[in-house]
A and B are shown apart, each in its own frame.
Chain A
């Protein structure tokens, strides 16, 4: 994002083709990984209809992977849903930033809202002007939504033919998705501290607490690190 920031300051506007190329690059790459979600979800015991409903109506990958992972592991559904919702909260903050950036009419907002996820926000926020941001958001959102749902369907459908998904290493897809999203968020010392503390809390709680609960306990790493480092931040 740093290079995009610099670009924003230097270039007054971008050619539409460049915006579309960036947007499609992200949309296609991430959209195709819906296949891994479809297989993972089916492997967790969810039906084809349930798997497709998640991609159509939840449409935020981390929450989807977290929900099926927790349900598949036999976790408490309340903890599973809470974990998925916690992960989804970041989209509210993307939305806040995008509402200034895109300047959407009130009537369009309920439709645009479903596409507010990591990738569409990243592409839109990297653009130098409103038209490019709108174009980037729309192209990323459309390509990702269509592909993610299509590949979810194919993955869930193909899961039966694949047999045991772990034989194909597909049980590593979920954690790899989480790691990739995490890597894009690790920008400073606080983020790194939160990540390390969360891993320690999660692994320490795993043998002790019901499935799904350790993730919620690990979320406490954020307020803990904030409380500890706040004094330093107030006087940088």
Chain B
């Protein structure tokens, strides 16, 4: 039940912010500081999520096959590969390293 509630709140909240942006008069969200925060907060959160989901195992820090997968994704990004190739590279390399190292 708690999962359904989490999903409902996330869905309503995410929809509300999408509609808000489309509906509010310009100016309210256009202050330079607000805009700057809005572009930097996702940067912080995406960087944190990338690190945690790569090096986190429960509450422990580990370096495992996922790190190799993420490195492959980074190389694909540097080579300007399409989105799907970037994700695919991470998945394939992680699986391969895991298979090789048992």
Binding site for B on A (CB under 8 A): 25-26, 29-30, 32-33, 36, 46, 50, 53-54, 57-60, 62-63, 65-67, 69, 71, 73-74, 77, 80-81, 83-96, 98-100, 104, 109-110, 112-114, 116, 166-183, 185-186, 190-191, 194-199, 201-203, 206-207, 211, 214-215, 218-223, 225-226
Contacts and interface: CB of A to CB of B under 8 A. Distances in A.
Point out which of A33, A62, A89, A168 has the most chain B C-beta atoms below 10 A from its C-beta: A89
Interface of B: 2-7, 9-11, 13-15, 17-24, 26, 29-30, 33, 35-56, 58-61, 65-66, 69-70, 73-74, 77, 82-84, 86-87, 89-96, 98
Tell me the dominant secondary structure on chain B's binding face: helix
Contact of A214 (B11, B13, B48, B65): B48
13 contacts: A62-B49, A66-B45, A85-B13, A89-B38, A116-B18, A172-B70, A179-B50, A179-B73, A179-B77, A199-B47, A203-B61, A218-B44, A219-B45
B30 A96 contact: yes
Contacts of B77: 179-180, 183
Contact of A222 (B9, B15, B44, B66): B44
Contact of A202 (B35, B48, B95): B48
A92 B15 contact: no
B52 A182 contact: no
Contact of A92 (B6, B38, B91): B38
A86, A179, A183 — most chain B CB neighbours (10 Å): A179
Given A89-B17, A95-B22, A96-B29, A194 B43 contact: yes
A173 B84 CA distance: 10
Given A175-B53, A180-B83, A99 B94 contact: no
Given A53-B11, A113-B15, A177-B87, 19 more contacts: A36-B87, A58-B7, A67-B7, A84-B10, A87-B45, A91-B14, A91-B21, A92-B18, A116-B18, A169-B91, A175-B69, A181-B46, A182-B43, A190-B40, A194-B44, A198-B45, A199-B51, A218-B45, A218-B48
Which of B4, B24, B65, B73 has the most chain A CB atoms closer than 10 A to its own CB? B73
Contacts of B51: 198-199, 202-203
A211 B59 contact: yes
A211 B60 CA distance: 11
A179 B74 contact: yes
A16 B4 CA distance: 42
B14 A109 contact: no
Nearest to B9: A81
B14 A194 contact: no
A127 B6 CA distance: 36
B40 A88 contact: no
